């Protein structure tokens, strides 16, 4: 049984890699997309931003609508749509069609991840659930870390179409593996839509959502401008920037592994400690970010914490609404995408008004506010408060 569960989690991890690879891998080939469709790079960037925006909107609704459908069938549907979307992207010369071929899979994106997180958690004992979920997150990190350079390499050495074919092939392999190895997974105890949505009536759910938005804003409000920071503040070369990004990505994968162990051992202590640890890194970054060697060490620690942060965000929302796991995972996806959008927007504002070095303040401000909402949730959930209800 353990071997079978490990195989299923491995397939879910590769599936997460394939879908995030499709979403984020495009970042590495935007110049080639711009050339192919004869548009500007900024307009080509819509393929990234519209995908993320669509995920943030469909995050809570699509898992809710599919919550009563056999999980294997739902996941096969999503993977099939991703394969078809990638195939359309290979052959189309119309940018509007390319946009549609990205937006439609993005609508279904939350269904796969919601099911994957729930299935991973259900495949082990309750106390081991964070560790199982962290393995799926390794696929998410790998999609960002490995997917972007592979797509860029294929586009630069062969063609833009080959990059898109790479996305399609990975998703097709996962589709076949899911079809062959996954048993039928009908939903045995289907919650009504009303019962699932009712978790939004609980203050603890909203406090958790706000905390996650702020924590992800703290991470991506700074990381989104990491390359610009390295270029203008640290004064590193293009090759060194690429190396730093690889270090960050590799550390992110390590962070996912560490997070599973931390959340399994003492979840609340891990969540409360996280903002202080990341805040300390940002203070050191602000003080020593102009020096290359300290920056490399900072990048390594920062990357590990970013990996831990992703797992903490998922745990914080799903533990607030354990009675509706699929819907809660949808809320998590929506919250982190919203946090990324807000953090990136505010980070850009700080850079334009104060300079690139001060983008770190966005992270620190988000963390301070995040701590307030984390402590507020802990106060609401304390034994004394529970007894007084």
In total, the chain counts a number of residues equal to 389
Q: pLDDT digits over 173-208, tens only?
A: 999 999 999 888 887 766 666 777 888 889 999 999
Structure tokens given for 194: 């009303």
pLDDT confidence of 384, banded at 50, 70, 90? very low
Q: Is the model more confident about 55 or about 381?
A: 55
191-389 adopts what CATH topology? Growth Hormone; Chain: A; (1.20.1250)
Regarding pTM above 0.75, the answer is yes
Residue 157: is it exposed, middle or buried by C-beta count within 10 angstroms (0-12/13-18/19+)? exposed
Between the CA atoms of 49, 354, 246 and 137, what dihedral angle is there, to the nearest 10 degrees?
-50
What pLDDT does residue 386 have? 42
Same fold: 1-188 with 191-389: yes
20 pLDDT more than 60: yes
User: What is residue 233's DSSP assignment?
Assistant: T
Q: What are the extents of the domains in the chain?
A: 1-188, 191-389
CATH code 1.20.1250.20 for 1-188: yes
226-245: string of b/e by CB count within 10 Å (b at 16+)? beebbbebbebeeebbeebb
Q: Find out whether 13 and 139 touch, Cβ atoms under 8 Å.
A: yes
What pLDDT does residue 191 have? 63
Q: pLDDT digits over 118-174, tens only?
A: 888 877 787 788 888 888 888 887 877 777 778 877 887 888 889 889 989 999 999
Per the prediction, the chain carries an average pLDDT of 86
102 pLDDT more than 60: yes
Average pLDDT over residues 333-345: 84
Compute the distance between CA of residue 164 and CA of residue 75 in angstroms, rounded to an integer.
21
User: What does each C-alpha distance from 139 to 11, 21, 135, 185, 213 come to in angstroms?
Assistant: 10, 9, 7, 22, 22
What pLDDT does residue 113 have? 87
């Amino acid at each position: 049984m353990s071997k079978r569960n490990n195989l299923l989690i491995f397939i879910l991890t590769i599936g997460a890699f394939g879908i995030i690879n499709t979403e984020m891998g495009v970042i590495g080939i935007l110049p080639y997309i711009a050339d192919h469709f004869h548009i500007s790079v900024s307009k080509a960037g819509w393929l990234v931003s519209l995908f993320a925006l669509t995920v943030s909107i469909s995050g809570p609704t699509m898992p809710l609508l599919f919550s009563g459908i056999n999980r294997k069938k739902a996941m096969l549907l999503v993977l099939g749509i991703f394969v078809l979307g990638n195939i359309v992207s290979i052959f189309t010369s119309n940018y509007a069609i390319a946009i549609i071929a990205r937006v439609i899979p993005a609508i279904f994106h939350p269904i796969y991840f919601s099911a994957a997180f729930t299935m991973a958690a259900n495949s082990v004992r309750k106390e081991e659930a964070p560790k199982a979920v962290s393995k799926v997150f390794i696929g998410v990190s790998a999609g960002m870390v490995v997917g972007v350079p592979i797509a860029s390499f294929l586009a630069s050495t062969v063609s833009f179409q080959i990059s898109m074919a790479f996305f399609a092939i990975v998703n097709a392999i996962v589709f076949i593996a899911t079809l062959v190895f996954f048993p039928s997974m009908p939903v045995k105890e289907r919650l009504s839509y009303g019962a699932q949505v009712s978790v939004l009536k609980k203050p603890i759910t909203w406090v958790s959502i706000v905390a996650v938005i702020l924590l992800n804003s703290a991470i991506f409000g700074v990381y989104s401008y990491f390359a610009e920071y390295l270029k203008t503040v640290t004064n590193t070369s293009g090759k060194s920037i690429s190396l730093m990004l690889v270090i960050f990505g590799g550390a992110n994968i390590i962070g996912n592994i560490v997070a599973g162990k931390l959340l399994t051992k003492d979840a609340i202590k891990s969540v409360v400690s996280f903002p202080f640890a990341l805040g300390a890194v940002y203070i050191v970054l602000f003080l020593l970010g102009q020096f290359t060697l300290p920056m490399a060490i900072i990048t390594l620690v920062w990357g590990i914490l970013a990996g831990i942060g992703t797992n903490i965000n998922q745990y914080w929302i799903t533990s607030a609404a354990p009675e509706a796991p699929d819907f809660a995972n949808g809320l998590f996806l929506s919250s982190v995408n919203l946090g990324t959008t807000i953090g990136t927007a505010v980070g850009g504002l700080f850079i334009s008004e104060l300079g690139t070095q001060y983008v770190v303040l966005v992270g620190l401000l988000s963390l301070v506010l995040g701590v307030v909402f984390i402590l507020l949730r802990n106060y609401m959930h304390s034994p004394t408060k529970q007894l007084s209800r």
